[in-house]
């Protein structure tokens, strides 16, 4: 029977062990109780085995684990398994730390009756619809396992963690992109003197266009040039054309990368469609 050698006991339910010269995290009910360093643990006692390759993530995880109740640890693991199954794709291991840390704070806020607003909820739903749908499932799972009703806004935060993990992006970058989209939408409303209907198909298309523009800029992807259309749009729709360039300059400043000129053409067309609907 395969066995692990104990390196350090974190609490009754979690310990660090060694097998084949590799450090792993073992999780199981009572697995750490009365266990000493260098003692052995049969593999059958471990409910979950984690191998965190990234040293920074491993340190963060080990710092966090002793302060987390087993019920929250269990539901976080179950949630990550659900996310992985739904996406059918590997997740960056930082989700183990990020999601558990977030859920720990969310649980504390809910227990204390504190409400936290999510100003980017609508944009998150539109930017990452697949991740958001999975996040809603995760939220229901957490409520069922922990027997507490959590605020619906939490699904938006969980969706960002999911997107961060599946795209292998830093959560700060994902948050920054969501905030940038929200900022651009605010400028569009101000400059066109309109209030966008967040439930409309045009709003959804605009949000997604901004998202894909940002992703193209980040990936240095160039869209097809359209010189003739560019001249026409500049003449026919000067307000939308100038606004598109203003938005592009904001993107360049926020992302620290150049935006290809052709993006102005496609953005102008989206802006003109929106303006036409509201005027």
* Residues 258-271 pLDDT 10s: 988 888 888 998 89
Per-residue three-class SS string for 1-54: CCEEEEEEEEECCEEEEEECCEEEEEECCCCCCCCCCCCEEEHHHCCEEECCCC
User: pLDDT at residue 156 above 90?
Assistant: yes
Asked if 5 contacts 16 with a C-beta cutoff of 8 angstroms, the reply is no
Q: pLDDT category, 63, cuts 50, 70, 90?
A: confident
Q: Which tens digits make up the pLDDT trace of 161-200? A: 999 999 888 888 999 999 999 999 999 999 999 999 888 8
What letters, b where the CB count within 10 A reaches 16 and e where it falls short, cover 143-175? eeebeeebeebbbbbbbbbbbbbbbebebeebb
Q: Which domains, and CATH codes, for the chain?
A: 1-51 (2.30.24.10), 53-169 (1.10.1790.10), 180-278 (1.10.1790.10)
**Distances 194 to 79, 127, 268 between C-alpha atoms, Å:** 40, 21, 16
- Look at 135 and 120; give whichever has higher pLDDT: 135
Provide the pLDDT confidence category of residue 279 given band limits of 50, 70 and 90.
low
For residues 27-54, average pLDDT: 84
Confidence of residue 253 (pLDDT cuts 50, 70, 90): very high
Q: What is the pLDDT of residue 68?
A: 84
Indicate if the pLDDT at residue 225 is higher than 70. Answer: no
Copy the structure tokens of residue 249: 């300059």
Share of the chain above pLDDT 70, in %: 97
- Residue 192: both structure tokens together: 């066109």
Digit-coded pLDDT (tens) for 68-126: 888 888 899 889 989 999 999 888 888 888 999 999 888 888 888 888 788 788 889 99
Which range among 105-109, 150-154, 227-231 shows the weakest confidence by mean pLDDT? 227-231
As a whole number of Å, the end-to-end CA separation of the chain is 74
Contact in structure between 159 and 128 (CB atoms under 8 Å): yes
pLDDT band at 1 (very low <50, low <70, confident <90, very high): low
């Amino acid at each position: 029977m395969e066995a692990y050698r104990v390196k350090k006991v974190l609490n009754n339910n979690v310990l660090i062990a060694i097998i084949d010269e590799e450090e792993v995290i073992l999780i199981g009910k009572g697995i750490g109780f009365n266990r000493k360093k260098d003692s052995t643990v049969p593999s059958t006692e471990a409910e979950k085995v984690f191998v965190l390759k990234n040293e920074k993530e491993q340190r963060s995880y080990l710092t966090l684990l002793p302060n987390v109740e087993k019920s929250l640890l269990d539901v976080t693991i179950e949630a990550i398994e659900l996310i992985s199954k739904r996406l059918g794709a590997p997740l960056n291991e930082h989700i183990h730390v990020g999601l558990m840390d977030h859920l720990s704070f969310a649980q504390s806020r809910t227990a204390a009756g504190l409400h936290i607003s999510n100003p980017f909820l609508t944009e998150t739903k539109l930017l990452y619809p697949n991740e958001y749908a999975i996040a809603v499932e995760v939220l229901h799972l957490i409520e069922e396992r922990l027997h507490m009703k959590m605020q619906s806004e939490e699904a938006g935060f969980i969706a960002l963690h999911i997107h961060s993990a599946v795209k292998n992006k830093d959560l700060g970058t994902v948050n920054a992109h969501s905030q940038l989209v929200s900022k651009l939408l605010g400028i569009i409303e101000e400059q066109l003197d309109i209030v966008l209907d967040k439930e409309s198909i045009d709003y959804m298309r605009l949000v997604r266009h901004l998202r894909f523009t940002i992703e193209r800029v980040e990936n240095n992807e160039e869209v097809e040039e359209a010189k003739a259309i560019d001249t026409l749009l500049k003449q026919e729709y000067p307000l939308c054309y100038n606004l598109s360039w203003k938005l592009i300059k904001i993107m360049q400043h926020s992302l620290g990368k150049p935006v290809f000129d052709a993006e102005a053409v496609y953005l102008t067309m989206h802006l003109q469609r929106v303006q036409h609907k509201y005027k």
